[in-house]
Structure 1
């Protein structure tokens, strides 16, 4: 069985850090400083895709400037990794003990994911991962399709766990089961239109999932 996890807002309580770093970057390069709610809307997308949503009328040069500034601010802030949500490691350990495969599908860059895994001493903990800068950004389902091929797992023996409509959408497009977590960047209402098979308020509740969909 294959469990595929989003990172920011699902495993890692990093939403506030993302918002703050985006606001600092905008201030630095002279672009409008957006609200937390506006920024939370794009969490889950790859950074270039996110900036096109946040700043649709700015030039490519301006978006490149804020991209570089954001990446620098986030790398500095992420020297101290964001805390995990309660009972994340205990739940992931339980999945390991059951013999399940666990993977990450994230809007983070490969450099960013590798950095946080290294800082946490988890470089070899997940069996595989896909990042937005090495495949298509969410909500395109390509990263999920690549993980299915890598593990040689049929789609009904995998499940996507995430906190945004982008996570739910990419799984919905390929008929992959979905678990929506209610505590992350997007409201549960935004995710329900993609018909998640399970909605949870706490991370450890994903252990209630079985692959008969009950």
Structure 2
């Protein structure tokens, strides 16, 4: 078997594995409307996907006063919970993950979701046993801080040069750059890939199929 280039592969969740970008965008907009803020555009709302929840909402709704942040967060969670079971993995994700697992990569998740949110998504998709580790934004520093990746690398004893981050936002790729890790961007999620180039990803995949093919040869 061909030697691995990467021992640890960290995936973002929303917009990379989970087809949730449109629903998250709409839930952010609905939450801002509920608290009387100026509803952000689709582009502004989708830009913050991947950040920790309150950081994301504050960025998307700069006119909402800080004292309304708890209500804003509650309204976002209300809307998201109403739609979370409408979301599914992107087609092709399960075969991709299964093949990487068969090659004995450590598979992890580094996400802006909360721990409860990620656990619920993993339960809903019946993926609890597939990932070896994970970090969420409410239990450590959010993206683009490198802390999530530093903690995962330390947990599995893997060096930065043997770690690959895969994500759909500039926050993901900047986190990898900050951690000294390689990255791959995917263009089918929250951010337009035009901004990825400055963050030096090894590749930009335009579909899960293309990502799978690239990983088969290069991971």
TM class by smaller structure: over 0.9
TM-score (norm 1): 0.93
**Alignment partner of 2:156 out of 151, 155, 161:** 151
1:119-153: CA deviations, max 9, x gaps?
12112221110000100010001000000000001
Flag structure 2 segments of 5+ consecutive residues without an equivalent. Answer: 1-6
In the other structure, the counterpart of 2:114 is 109
In the other structure, the counterpart of 2:40 is 34
Name the CA distance, whole Å, in 1 between partners of 2:216 and 2:119.
Answer: 30
TM-score (norm 2): 0.91
Pair 210,123 (structure 1): closer, same or farther in 2 beyond 3 Å? closer
Structure 1 segment 33-182 matched on structure 2, within 5 A = 33-78=39-84, 80-182=85-187
- Structure 1 window deviating more from structure 2 (198-207 vs 81-90): it is 198-207
Superposition deviation, residue 75 in structure 1:
1.5
Flag structure 1 segments of 5+ consecutive residues without an equivalent. Answer: none
- Structure 1 window deviating more from structure 2 (160-169 vs 83-92): it is 83-92
Counterpart of 2:73 in 1: which secondary structure? helix
CA contact (8 A) 1:81 1:120 kept: no
**Alignment partner of 1:193 out of 174, 194, 198:** 198
Aligned-residue Cα RMSD (Å) equals 1.7
